[in-house]
Structure formats: structure tokens, C-alpha cells
Amino acid sequence: MLILVTNDDGIEAKGVHQLIDALLPFGEVVCVCPDSPRSAQSMAITVNGPLSATELPSYHGARMYKVNGTPVDCVKLSMHALLPCRPSLVVSGINHGSNASINVMYSGTMGAAMEGCVFGIPSIGFSLTDHSPDADFDHCIPFVKKIVAWTLQHGLPEGICLNVNIPVTLSRPHRCRVVRACKGNWSDEYKEYVNPHGQKFYWLTGNFINEEPESTDTDEYCLAHGMVSVVPTKIDQTVKSDVVPGIMELE
């Protein structure tokens, strides 16, 4: 039983070490992470440059590698060159910050989980709604263990991975719900600056806007009410052709 662990916060992040500790009881763990934080890298891959992997001292028995690439690069390179055999599970995280709602599209954590899914391996991304480097992950661990145990036992449908988000404070009794990604968006403001040469530059900021705060079947609702959200997420984004019927008639 081999488990591949990765993340997008980089090999030094607290969240990935906590994740490894949670997974070691299940089997052999190999951890392959970006050598520095690669947040919001989505499924970006390195196609026009070289990659290298450096083995680091093991952590509590887990083999550790850092890669000078994205989270998806880490999964691809692991599968090709680093792992001793095909893993039974790919687990990404625990991310420092939410990947609920629309964030899943930009998330490197979920990019890695989706790549595991591309390889046909049951894959899960875990995220905590706290960006701080020293976030407290203790309450995440029982959920990580339960969801991993369930997934190892039952598998996941082809082409579907899990996006698990965990709130900072849990309601009592502790609960986990399978829900859908909330409709929402970022206000996407940019803070404007002027450099010493008089030229403008920009830095992304903005606020998340929940477009359906009253809906009770969304990940954002769960998180706002102290529950862990599990969103089954599929990699094929095709919708039925009849949504654009007229285009069929173009010659």
C-alpha cells in the first residue's frame, strides 16, 4: 500500500507534514512537493523547461522529495520517475486556505488531485480555511483518516476526485457533508501602485462573493456552519451538445 502525498504550499509547509502523519498508519508514504509555494497554479505544467527532483531527509519514515515545478508536475514526475510502484491513493494538502466554491478552478492543491484522477488513481485534496503558515490542523486529522479509509475501501468512480474543505471551527457534533461547489466569484480587484519610474503595476486582491448564501447544499454553507464539505469533482467538463444547437448547422 503506497500513498503519494503532494501539495501546493511547498515541501516546508506545516499542512503537508500533518497530512503525512495522518497517513502513515495506512501504509508507505512518499511525499513529492514543489520546492516553494505554488498557490493558484491550477493544473499548470512545465512543458518548456527542465525539472529536477531532490531527495530530502525522510520525515517520520516517509520519503521526501522537492521538485522545481508545479503541483501537477510533482504528480507526473512521481508517476514516471520517483515512485517504486503505482500508488493506491494520491492525497494533496492539507492546504493552508480554502479551496471551496470557485477556488477549486485555480487551486494547485486540487490540480494535483485532478492529475491523480487523470492517472486513474483515487485522489483527494484536503484544505483548511486558514491561510496562516502556523494554522492548527489538529481537528482536520480525524476527517482525513475517515475519508481516506473510506476511499481506500470503496474507491472512487472513474474520473472523479474529492475536494474536501475543513472549517477552522467545527460544529458539534462533528459533521461531514457531501455537497456541491457554491456559486460565487471574486471581486478581483487589483491594488494599484506606481513604480519609481512612474509606471503603474498591480497586485491581485479582492473579496469572495457568495452568490447563493441561502442555499444549504453548498460547500460554502457547510464551512460557514462548522461542517466539513466533500465535493465530488469530475475532470471531464463537457456538457451536452444540445446547449448550442445552432452551431450544428454551421457548414
- Which of 10-18, 20-28, 87-95, 187-195 is the region at the interface with a second copy (rule: CB under 8 A)? 187-195
- Which of 16-24, 27-35, 58-66, 225-233 is the region at the interface with a second copy (rule: CB under 8 A)? 225-233
Overall residue count recorded for the chain in this entry: 251
Task: Name the DSSP class of 132.
Answer: -
Q: Which of residues 68-107 bind a second copy (CB under 8 A)?
A: 70, 72-73, 76-77, 79-81, 102, 104-106
Shortest gap between Cβ of 16 and a second copy (angstroms)?
Answer: 18
My answer on whether omega of the bond before 173 falls inside 30° of 0, hence cis, is yes
Q: Which one, 25 or 60, has the nearer CB to a second copy? A: 25
Q: Which of residues 105-144 bind a second copy (CB under 8 A)?
A: 105-106, 111, 114, 118-119, 143
> How far apart are alpha carbons 67 and 11 in whole angstroms?
9
Q: Are the C-beta atoms of 92 and 6 separated by less than 8 Å? A: yes
Task: Tell the residue number behind the cell numbers 494533496, with chain if given.
Answer: 92
> How far apart are alpha carbons 250 and 191 in whole angstroms?
44
**Quick check: 179 binds a second copy (CB under 8 A)?**
yes
Of 22, 63, 65, residue with least CA distance to 164? 22
**Quick check: 51 binds a second copy (CB under 8 A)?**
yes
**Quick check: 210 binds a second copy (CB under 8 A)?**
no
Shortest gap between Cβ of 239 and a second copy (angstroms)?
Answer: 5
